[in-house]
Amino acid sequence: MRALVTGATGFIGRRLLASLERPVVLSRRPEVARQIVGNAEVFAWEPESGPPPPASLKGVDIVFNFAGESVAGGRWTAQRKERIRASRVVGTRNLVAAIEAQKKRPRVLVSASAVGYYGSRGDEVLQESAAPGSDFLAEVCQAWETAGQHAAQLGVRVVTPRIGLVLGKGGGALAHLLTPFKLGLGGRLGSGRHWMPWIHLDDLIGMLLHASKSGISGPMNAVGPSPVTNRQFARALAAALHRPAIFPVPAFALRVMFGELASVLLASQRAVPHVAVSAGYRFLYSSLDDALGEILAG
């Protein structure tokens, strides 16, 4: 099966490419992408400008859509919020338009979303049937998923993985946390009582591939089976590094430093992978301690 990947040069995309044969890549910077992704076939594409080249979808069976401006790349100015939305929603609409124009369409579209769909929900256990939130990121995720689901009207099976905090070697959120925790300066954020739905990168890739081959359709929480609170996460990471976790960051300080973006850092989403587990996915890393142990080994 031939797969097309958008967002292929990112933390998740690079790992996904390594699991695919003869992938096709769409990238804003094709020359840079060719250096990163090896022998994949690369096409230039500006997601907000229009559909990708029709040739990029020729012979493609599965589309993995992960293109999108980084949510955590800086303070949420009005301009940045528009880039976050457009890169996901408009980009996905344009991708689906290209799928619609194909005589022989891909069978499956795996189009990313995020647990931000739910907003901040305290201790509520969130299966995929839970109602959406109403904050900025929740509204973006709803529009993002709706754009992808249009492909279902074209006979394409659509999966929208709602991705949690991805943990892995060489990038992602953990890369930003390691330095302060290694220095013994780590700790909880705010009260630390908010839930953090994490997933090991290997399990995320495994779940995405499982979803592409199984009969899953619609939303799928791409999270591990054992969510933890932020306080528990800080303690587990500190213990894995043999350091204390005694320097909490007050919520007001996060709001001063990051503005509206702080709401993402303090949001509580006790999401569980009901759909993936029901479809037979088996986790490589079921506990946070096991996941951190593998990532930090050596």
Residue 96, both tokens: 């689906």
The Cα–Cα gap between 245 and 180 comes to 10
Q: Which residues is 194 bridged to in the sheet?
A: none
The Cα–Cα gap between 210 and 227 comes to 21
The Cα–Cα gap between 28 and 36 comes to 13
Condensed to tens digits (0 to 9), the pLDDT of residues 248-278 reads 999 999 898 889 989 999 999 999 999 999 9
The Cα–Cα gap between 57 and 62 comes to 9
The Cα–Cα gap between 48 and 240 comes to 42
The Cα–Cα gap between 236 and 177 comes to 12
Find, among 125, 122, 164, 170, the residue nearest to 141 by Cα: 164
Residue 105, both tokens: 């369409």
Q: Amino acid identity, residue 99?
A: I
**Residue 266 burial (CB count, 10 A):** 18
The Cα–Cα gap between 198 and 164 comes to 5
The Cα–Cα gap between 64 and 42 comes to 14
For the range 19-22, what are the long-range contacts, defined as Cβ-Cβ under 8 Å and sequence gap of 24 or more?
19/205, 19/209
Which residue ranges of the chain lie beneath pLDDT 70?
Answer: 298
The Cα–Cα gap between 114 and 212 comes to 18
Question: Burial letters for 81-102: b for 16+ Cβ neighbours within 10 Å, e otherwise?
Answer: beebbbbbbbbbbbbbebbeee
Residue 256: the pLDDT is 87
**CB-based contact 159:216 (threshold 8 Å):** yes
Contacts of 206 (CB under 8 A, 6+ apart): 281, 284
Question: Which runs of consecutive H residues, i.e. helices, occur in 153-200?
Answer: 172-182
